[in-house]
Amino acid sequence: MKNTKRHSYFTSVVLVCLIAFTSCKVTSQEPAKKEIVISKSLKWSDKMALTLMKRHPEAYMIDDSKKPKWDYVHALVLHSIEELYKKNPDSRYKTYIRGYVDELVQNDGTIKTYELDKYNIDLVVPGRLLFNIYAESKEEKYLKAMQLVRKQISEQPRTQSGGFWHKKIYPNQMWLDGLYMGEPFYAQYTLTFENGDKFDDIAKQFEVIQSHATDPKTGLLYHAWDESKQMPWANKETGNSPNFWSRALGWYVMALVDVLDYMPKDHPKQKELVKYLNNASAALAKYQDKSGLWYQVTDKGNKEGNYLEASGSSMFAYAFAKGAKKGYLPASYKKLANKAFDGLTKKLIKVDADGGITLTQACQVAGLGGTPYRDGSYEYYVNEKKKDNDPKATGPFILAALELNR
């Protein structure tokens, strides 16, 4: 009996030691992440990126997501951090992006949560994160994942005039959002892997929406266009939705400046896209508020319920600054971009106790049709929920800060 007790005691001690040793070993291999410190001296671009990383320790947590998912909002923020890394090669930025991609891209090149057969053009955006990772690592899984996203573009349903449907569940509809969702990836892919073979098709997407969704009176583009004119929100003569939404216009001008990064200057369609950018930017400039910002419903000013909105204002600041820097827009647009950025930092930014920053007055989401039904009315847009540090605002805020070196 005594021997049995002694043996039991000895076994327990050994087990405790083993557990302690194992714990020490794991700890030494996987050190705890250092707390992120956000100093006052940092540029706005770094302040926002580090704030988001502190609030969302893993990138899939952006937008308060509970599980990893292949999604455009994560990709928008991570693309902005990728651009930030080019100017400030802080290894934390690279690790943050890579963690998101590696959580979702599998060894065989398939992508967790990605459903190609839904033909949701929003889900093309995260493909942009794969180019640099593949170029550096040469791991085939990233190439296969890019090819999978490219397959969606090849199969994406189209309007009779050749424009991509926004989603399979939205037949015959093009939304301004979709130009940003699909075309920058498409442009980078065709330049990188197809000798630029598809630039005409990319230009076609802008041509279709420009010709159908532009309002001849204001020069602004409506949020969406239904080629069939069957949707209840669609104008029975034009097929357009009834209002101008600043974020939709922001997606559009961001799409133009980003696609132009890849389209050669001597390409026959390049000047056409530059013209579209100039036309849209000139129209937008007329509606810039004295604060430097733009309203949620772009042309309705301080009508009851309308408000100065963060995401559209950040997107316009980015597109104007980049357009001016690249020579697509007159140099005067840099001044407008700085005015917009001043408006964002002075009117919509709150500094938190830990030095982090919060961008307020961002529309959380807006769309058309669907369930519950969204009618595109003025009342609809101004009554959609707002969300602080919404990724559709924070990503473009970082991009604008980078272009303006702020």
- In whole angstroms, give the CA distance from residue 392 to residue 372: 22
Q: How many alpha carbons fall within 13 Å on the CB side of residue 379?
A: 1
Cβ count near 211 (within 10 Å): 11
Q: Residue 106 is encoded by which pair of tokens?
A: 């599998």
The rounded Cα 268 to chain-centroid distance in angstroms is 28
The rounded Cα 103 to chain-centroid distance in angstroms is 19
Contact call for residues 151 and 103 (beta carbons, < 8 A): no
Would you call 215 a catalytic residue per the annotation?
A: no
Determine which helix (DSSP H) or strand (DSSP E) holds 135, and give its type and residue range: helix 130-137
Of the residues 63, 177, 299, 390, only one is catalytic, namely 177
Long-range contacts of 259-262 (CB under 8 A, 24+ apart): 259/183, 259/184, 259/187, 259/202, 259/206, 260/326, 260/328, 261/184, 261/187, 261/188, 262/184, 262/187, 262/188, 262/190, 262/191, 262/196
Q: Which amino acid is at 34?
A: K
292: left (phi over 0), alpha (psi -120 to 50) or beta: left
- The three-class DSSP label of residue 123 is helix
Determine which helix (DSSP H) or strand (DSSP E) holds 112, and give its type and residue range: none
Contacts of 302 (CB under 8 A, 6+ apart): 295
The rounded Cα 183 to chain-centroid distance in angstroms is 13
Instruction: Please give the positions annotated as active site.
Output: 177
